[in-house]
A = this chain, B = another copy of it.
Amino acid sequence: MFARRIDQLSSSLVRDILAATKRPGMVSFAGGLPAEEALYRPDKLDAGLLANAWQYGETEGEPALRAEIARLGNKLGIACTPAQVLIVNGSQQGIDLVSKLMIDEGTPVLTEAPAYLAALQSFKLFGARFCPVSVGPDGADLAGFERTLADVRMAYLTPTFQNPSGYCYSDAERDAVAAALDRHDALLFEDDPYRALSYDGEAPQPIAGRLKSARWVYQGSFSKTLAPGLRLGFLIVHPDLITPLTRLKQAADLHSNRVSQTIIADLLAKGELEQHVASVLPLYRERRDAMATALQRHLGGHAHWQLPAGGLFFWLKLARSCDTMALMRRALDAGIAVMPGEPFFPNGADASYLRLNFSHASPEQIEQGIARLAQLLNAD
């Protein structure tokens, strides 16, 4: 009665947990929501600025915004022109479009293990067969990359403050992965939403700009730096890919919202994106450090973790084997939302991880929430 792919549409855990977090009094470490205080909220929206935002627009995006994004890309070492930029409705649409471009039933796709949950869900919907390579606190498994890249059409990577592990590939790892992609001529899909949220100095430049021959898609988003409600992200892509991706975007929704595009193009032109990010970093750093302190105080014996240098998450390996799906449900009953690690592993897997978001709760809520989580683990 439905298309076969609908069998792959499991209920999204993220969605269900986010729904639960709306209950009053809930402390949420579950989502990847920016702090309310960090959202870009314009005082007023100028009707003059928006005068040309109402008619149908170009599928690729507003020319002024594409030009600004090409400038951003070049600053990051990705040699590109505005013609290589495609504006999308946040990163998730970029994932949908690249899935459509690359994935048939059974197409082998390299992903990190663990990897970004909602990307795995999209790839699976289109029939991907996952070929995972381990990435985590001890680094990226470079031998695994070399071995696995021989068999895949595409590699999906989030090398900078990875979601969920928080890991940031070193310069040497990036060079090695780029060389392996070139050797095997596999397409790189580099998803980079957290780069600007860097708390201890600048992250190494993207892998996309280090490639010599392999084709690539580099993705960025304004959801973490400005406001998710604007639903705006971008792809910068190898010249071979812009035409099919633009046609896929046209078939998906003609073009992206012009009000959001106009607001963001204006901000970028005035240099206000960087100012806004600089103004919110201290808040995020404070919350990260508050969570580090609370974890040390309450979960020292229960789990291992590393201090994330950027992004929005701590990634905890529990010391004892633990059914984290059951733990999550008990935590919800106790008023804390946490994300079990299991769904981040492409082929199911090691259940003894938790992902904890530190950006949305206040330092006081972080202290209380981690203390309650420790009580649950102690009661085990």
> Contact between A253 and B31 (Cβ–Cβ < 8 Å)?
no
Report A35-73 CB contacts with B as 1/0, cut-off 8 Å. Answer: 010011111110100110111110100000000000000
Q: Which of B42, B55, B107, B227 contacts A228 (CB 8 A)?
A: B55
A57 neighbours in B (Cβ, 8 Å): 228-229
Q: Are A244 and B9 in contact (CB under 8 A)?
A: yes
Q: CB-defined interface of A198-234 with B at 8 Å, one 1/0 digit per residue?
A: 0000000000000000000000000100011111000
A111 CB-CB contact with B under 8 Å: no
- In the assembled complex, A81 has its CB within 8 A of some CB on chain B: no
Q: Flag whether A121 is at the interface (Cβ < 8 A).
A: yes
Name the B residues within 8 Å of A55 (CB-CB): 33-34, 36, 39, 227-229
* Given A3-B102, A57-B229: A121 and B251 interface contact (C-beta under 8 Å): yes
Are B89 and A259 in contact, with the CB atoms below 8 A?
no
Residues in B whose Cβ lies below 8 Å from that of A228: 54-57, 254
Residues 149 to 193 of chain A near chain B (Cβ within 8 Å): 153
Flag if B6 contacts A244 (CB, 8 Å).
Answer: yes
Q: Which of B18, B93, B126 contacts A253 (CB 8 A)?
A: B93
Is A260 an interface residue when CB atoms closer than 8 A count as contact? yes
Convert A7-35 into 0s and 1s, putting 1 for each residue whose CB lies closer than 8 angstroms to a CB of B: 00101100100100000000000010110
Minimum C-beta distance from A328 to chain B (A): 19
**Contact call A54/B258, Cβ cutoff below 8 A:** no
Residues 231-283 of A at the B interface (beta carbon under 8 Å): 231, 244, 247-248, 250-260
Query: Is A364 engaged at the interface, CB distance under 8 Å to the other chain?
Result: no
A247 to B31 CA separation, bound complex (whole angstroms): 17
A229 and B252 form a contact (CB under 8 A): no
Q: 26 A–B contact pairs at CB < 8 A?
A: A1-B153, A2-B244, A3-B104, A9-B248, A9-B251, A15-B59, A15-B247, A34-B55, A41-B47, A41-B51, A44-B47, A45-B47, A54-B228, A55-B228, A57-B229, A89-B89, A92-B254, A96-B252, A96-B253, A125-B248, A125-B251, A228-B254, A230-B258, A252-B252, A257-B260, A259-B259
